[in-house]
Amino acid sequence: MNWLSAFVAIAAPCGILSLALAGEPQNNLSPLEMALANTRPLEHPQGGRPPLVFWTPNLPSPDDPDLEKTLLALKARGIGLMHRWGGDPEKSAEGWIRIGLLQKKLAMPILADGTGLAHGFLGGDDTSHIDKDGKPFRDKSFFWQAPCPFAIDQRFDARRKAYQAFAQKYKDAGLSIDYWMADFEFDGPNEWNDGWAEAKKCTRCRQNIPAIDTDFLAWQKAARNARTAMQRRVWVEPLKAAFPGIRIGNYGMNPHDGFRYYKDFYEKFDENLPHRKEHRMLYRPWADEFTPSGYTLAMPVVYTWAWIFDVYTFDSKQYRWFYNMLLEATSAARSLPAGVPSIPFVHWSTTDPAKTPPEGFEPLSRENYQELLWHMLLRGHFIDQARLHGALMKVRDRG
């Protein structure tokens, strides 16, 4: 699996990590041991390319007695390490700063995962919808209880201070964050599922969206504007202020062509909402969150969602997967501004599989997944678009 080390990609749980480990005996190995056992040192210098990141495991922990040796082994393979931000920065930042100081010594990039600070701060009656009788209520059609988009900004400053505190700890230690990423998509308002129907019952939403009864896109804009403001004010602005050169991104935040070509595991398809249909697949109109949020790193989601197999009717079962995933990858790539790198969330094993697969189910093969990754690379994912453009121009000029 030596080719794997050459790819620069974000791997979600069971994604590229599963691809690297497929078919190998893994009894009693830790995630760190599996990563080192199933990858090889890079054959070519990594240069300025971002590292490969295994999203789930901490590789290694701040308490690793052979920390420097472990970091050197990861560096040789082009594998990055996520600093997990969460809880009280006074208590949890100390171990990560220990790792960061060694990374600085070894000329390794420092990557932080802020997911632990992003989730779970919008609960409570004060951020809820308000019905005609003045009673608070929540949209319960997701696995979280979605709040009112016009009531959440009161929470931003308190959570923003947590990000500022972590950033200050790193600055005080003489460290800078090169990449900050999050796997955040929950907790906030959301226009899908029962979001629109619930918002129509809210006096605050009705006051702010006069056409809410008939204009879904107006409701979508309000919900996404609220999410955009939250991301920009709570973590993007303070982190960019602390580390001006930081590459900052979040799950599913990327430029696009106006549509999203997948649904996440917590979303439902609804033919009553605006869409474009192909076979049995509904492509939904999507708002631009990437630019107004201020992100500097695109992170599109290119997953083998289980439902893909059944919504297309192509005779080639393998092409059903390939077609949908390449649609999303192409939409993001062609919309990406020059100078903005794209590091997608990718996944090989079937994502969110059904307990009983549909008749004739055939998962995406290892070979076709590798082919997909090459197509993504050729579309400019994993590398800086400006550098890619310059390299192509040199090739053209040489004939």
pLDDT of residue 8 exceeding 50: no
The 10s digit of each residue's pLDDT in 339-363 is: 899 989 988 899 999 899 989 999 9
Q: Walk me through the domains of the chain, giving residue ranges and CATH numbers.
A: 1-80 (no CATH), 88-397 (3.20.20)
- The pair phi, psi for residue 79, each rounded to 5°, is -100, 130
3-state secondary structure (DSSP) of residue 278: strand
Phi, psi of 159 (to 5 degrees): -75, -30
Q: Which residue has the tokens 């003045």?
A: 134
Over residues 330-344, the mean pLDDT reads: 93
**What Å distances lie between residue 254 and 250, 291, 294, 297, CA to CA?**
8, 8, 11, 8
In angstroms, rounded to a whole number, what is the distance separating the alpha carbons of residues 198 and 222?
Answer: 14
Task: Tell me the HSE value of 261 on the side-chain side, using a 13 A CA sphere.
Answer: 26
Averaged pLDDT for residues 49-65? 79
pLDDT higher than 60, residue 383:
no
Q: Where does residue 180 fall: left (phi above 0), alpha (psi -120 to 50 degrees), or beta otherwise?
A: beta
- Please choose, from the candidates 223, 310, 217, 228, the residue with its C-alpha nearest in 3D space to the C-alpha of residue 258: 217
Average pLDDT over residues 298-307: 95
Decide: helix, strand or coil at residue 4. Answer: helix
Residues 191-230: pLDDT tens digits?
Answer: 999 999 999 999 999 999 999 999 999 999 999 999 999 9
In the predicted structure, residue 289 carries a pLDDT above the cut 80: yes
Q: Say how many residues make up the chain.
A: 399
Among the residue ranges 49-58, 122-131, 243-252, 275-284, the one predicted with the least confidence is 49-58
Looking at residue 27, its pLDDT comes to 63
- For residues 50 and 179, what is the distance between their CA atoms, to the nearest angstrom? 9
pLDDT at 339: 87
Mean pLDDT of 282-300: 96
6 pLDDT exceeds 80?
no
Give pTM, 2 decimals. 0.87
